Amino acid sequence: MSALVVYESVYGNTRAIAEAIADGLGGADVTAVHEAPARPEGLDLLVIGGPTHMHGLATNRSRQMGADGVKEDGAGHVEPGATQEPGLRTWLAALPNVEGAKAATFDTRLDRSPWLTGVASRGIAKRLRHRGYEIVDRESFLVEESEGPLAPGEVERAREWGRTLAGLVPQGVAAGGAR
Q: Domain coordinates of the chain in residue numbers?
A: 3-168
Determine the length of the chain. 179
Predicted local confidence at residue 174, as pLDDT:
62
**Is the pLDDT score of 7 beyond 60?**
yes
Give the least confident one: 1-10, 35-44, 72-81, 124-133: 72-81
Predicted local confidence at residue 175, as pLDDT:
56
Closest CA to 45 of 168, 177, 178, 159: 168
Model pLDDT for residues 122-174, shown as the tens digit of each residue? 999 999 999 999 999 999 999 999 888 999 999 999 999 999 999 999 877 56
Q: In angstroms, rounded to a whole number, what is the distance separating the alpha carbons of residues 6 and 31? A: 5
Phi, psi (5° rounding) for residue 20?
-70, -40
Predicted local confidence at residue 70, as pLDDT:
63
Q: Within 10 Å of residue 155's Cβ, how many Cβ atoms?
A: 18
Predicted local confidence at residue 178, as pLDDT:
32
Residue by residue, DSSP assigns 77-133 as ---TTTTPSS-HHHHHHHPPP-TT-EEEEEEEEESS-HHHHB-HHHHHHHHHHHTTP
Model pLDDT for residues 86-133, shown as the tens digit of each residue? 999 999 999 999 999 999 999 999 988 888 889 999 999 999 999 999
Q: Are 144 and 7 in contact (CB under 8 A)?
A: no
CATH number for the region 3-168 comes to 3.40.50.360
What is the value of pTM for the model shown? 0.90
Identify the H or E element spanning 3.
strand 3-7
